[in-house]
Amino acid sequence: MQETYLVELKNITKRFPGVTANDKVNFNVRKGEIHVLLGENGSGKSTLMSILSGLYRPDEGEIIVRGIKMVFRSPRNAISAGIGMVHQHFKLIDSFSVAENVILGDDRTAPVLNIKDVENNLAQLSARYGLDINPSSMVWQLSVGEKQRVEIVKMLYRGSQVLILDEPTAVLTPQEADKLFRNLREMAGTGRGIVVITHKLNEVMEIADRVTVLRRGKAVATLERGQFNRTDLAWLMVGQDVVLQNKKKSPPGQRKVLELKGVGCLNDLGRNCLQDVSFTVHQGEIFGIAGVAGNGQRELAEVIAGLRRATEGSIIVNGTDITGFSPRRVIDHGVALVPEDRLGTGLIPNMGAVDNLVLKDYRRREMSRGPFLNRRKAYEKVKQLVNRFEIKLSSLDAPVKLMSGGNLQRLLLAREITSNPKLLIAVYPVRGLDIKATEAVHNLLLEQRERGMAILLISEDLEEIFKLSDRIGVLCGGRITGIIPSEMTDIEEIGLLMMGGTGEMVL
Ligand SMILES: Nc1ncnc2c1ncn2[C@@H]1O[C@H](COP(=O)(O)OP(=O)(O)O)[C@@H](O)[C@H]1O
Ligand SMILES: [Mg+2]
């Protein structure tokens, strides 16, 4: 007999421009289980659950609720079908009370409603599941953990039988996380199905009755408790089908181009984000930073580029201590950054290739005539670059936002590489690119390495890290948990360091 699930996703495919976020994914939820959806950052977890909760429509595939095929046009539809999701960013209104937030946007709310009844109802739910919520509190008074519990109680109030939580522990202390897991177990105990999204192995080991692993948009395994251990899961997550190609020719030089000594910094929320980070990148070396995104990678790039202040330690480029230098002075000392967000901070979307390519050059005399750009010279230079880097353009003046991801990235790399930096920082350089474009960008980086450039490569893709790097440093929780020459390590060891270092791992 075929099992009837609370919900079932069949062959779900969802494409975004340039990326297949979900590729024929099957996933289901049983009554009373905690089902963990595990995967690296960008593997498609949030997308899949946003489809289940009615936020996105799939391009292909079916959603089946208790045996009946459904089409969700909005989260409202999913909620009526008993499916509720708590997103990573909460959607509460600060100036309203908990109870007011809960009834806000609830279809079933009677025109004349008694807030006291709602409050009583919420108080009962809160007590039943140990959520510790005061329904009359104002949301602005609540901690992050409390806000999360309000989102949960809101979904319970609306009758969710399937409750989805997207990386719920990301905002919690370990103690709060333990408490949340007990609450979730309690809810599963009443026959609900709970889906927890995470990239943390210890959470899977702690709470999962079943786990489904996503890798690059594909569900690579669904396993029952007892069928999995940490090592298997790490392998499944990061991919065992990695062909290690070594395209590097000459060994790196001895000269230190970049040296970080005990560097620390704060993130945008003012919390400690990098701590005691020390490493060296040599001339002609690619130093890869591996790690699950959000462990300080972006901040690391920014702190070196002078875009973020180091709160401790020092940063030395070619023997000069550049700690505290302005971004402009850092550039003048030979540092180039290819940022994560190409159109956000790297290039100006509405300007053409010429303007984007000479943007950083405009101060140089050869490009300017008095205060004005020498457009003829600029065109010549850009034409050369476009040829050399095989950038495809409809015209040199067409807004660069119309270019494909691969061409944009080549344009950006062309600009940075031709500025002849001593150190190039490349953050997720092939994110969103197809295989051909990826290959082209990789070759560009390897070429520069051969020419003696020092390259700091930040990537979540271990295949890329192994292919390009001479040495690999693993960043986890803002600390370097290991630095290993790439030929002396393997995906498994790096994968485990990414999950928190050997100290935490019990194998
Ligand atoms: N709204 C969107 N538009 C375009 N691309 C997206 C969007 N949401 C996600 N993606 C892309 O889809 C892939 C999967 O993303 P996501 O589901 O957020 O992964 P995860 O939750 O596992 O980190 C990523 O490559 C991401 O950049
Ligand atoms: Mg996500």
Cα 404 to ligand 1 centroid, rounded to whole Å: 17
Q: What is the mean pLDDT of the chain?
A: 86
- Predicted confidence at residue 242, as pLDDT, reads 40
**Inter-CA distances, 323 with 204, 306, 343, Å:** 40, 8, 27
Q: Are residues 280 and 186 in the same domain?
A: no
pLDDT at position 169 is 86
Query: Quick one: average pLDDT of 337-362?
Result: 74
| Domain end call among 362, 390, 420 | 420
Q: Are residues 108 and 210 in the same domain?
A: yes
pLDDT of residue 438: 75
Domain that holds residue 133: 7-238
* Highest averaged pLDDT of the listed ranges 60-69, 96-105, 337-346, 492-501: 60-69
Domain final residue pick, 184, 216, 238:
238
Task: Flag whether 279 is in a domain.
Answer: yes
Q: At 461, which CATH number? A: 3.40.50.300
pLDDT tens, position by position, 357-414: 776 654 444 454 555 567 777 788 888 878 877 787 777 888 887 777 777 778 888 8
Bigger pLDDT: 293 vs 442: 442
Q: Would residue 87 count as lying in a domain? A: yes
Residue 339 lies in a domain: no
In a shared domain, residues 271 and 196: no
Is residue 151 in some structural domain?
Answer: yes
Enter the DSSP assignment of 199: S
3-state secondary structure 348-415: CCCCCHHHHHHCCCCCCHHHEECCEECHHHHHHHHHHHHHHCCCCCCCCCCCHHHCCHHHHHHHHHHH
373 or 310: which carries more pLDDT confidence? 310
Mark whether 41 and 92 lie in a shared domain.
Answer: yes
- What CA–CA distance (Å, rounded) separates 207 from 225? 9
Q: Is residue 113 part of a domain?
A: yes
Tokens of 98: 């908990």
Contacts of 129 (CB under 8 A, 6+ apart): 153, 156, 183, 186, 187
Residues flanking ion ligand 2, Cβ below 5 Å: 46
Domain boundary among 386, 405, 420: 420
Query: Do 392 and 262 fall into the same domain?
Result: no
Return the residue whose CA atom lies nearest to atom 27 of ligand 1: 42
Q: Are 337 and 425 in contact (CB under 8 A)?
A: yes
pLDDT, tens digit, 9 for 90 and up, residues 158-172: 999 999 999 998 777
| 366 lies in the same domain as 226 | no
pLDDT, position 435: 62
How large is the average pLDDT for residues 345-349? 75
Same domain, 135 and 250: no
Is 88 inside any structural domain?
Answer: yes
Among protein residues, the one whose CA lies closest to atom 4 of ligand 1: 16
Distance between Cα 217 and ligand 2 center (Å): 12
Is residue 204 located within the same domain as residue 278? no
* Residues 258 and 303 placed together within one structural domain of the fold: yes
45 lines ligand 1 (CB under 6 A): yes
Mutation choice for ligand 1 from 14, 16, 87, 341, CB with most ligand atoms inside 8 A: 16
Looking at the fold, whether 448 and 375 belong to one and the same domain comes out as no
In a shared domain, residues 359 and 405: yes
Residue 340 domain flag = no
Å from CA of 170 to ligand 2 middle: 11
Could you tell me the sign of the dihedral formed by the alpha carbons of 443, 446, 452, 453, in that order? positive
* Domain count across the chain: 3
Same domain, 299 and 412: no
Residue to mutate (ligand 1; options 20, 36, 47, 48; most atoms within 8 A of CB): 47
1 is a domain residue:
no
Q: Which two tokens stand for residue 49?
A: 């659950």
Nearest CA to ligand 1 atom 7: 16
Q: Is the pLDDT of residue 419 over 50?
A: yes
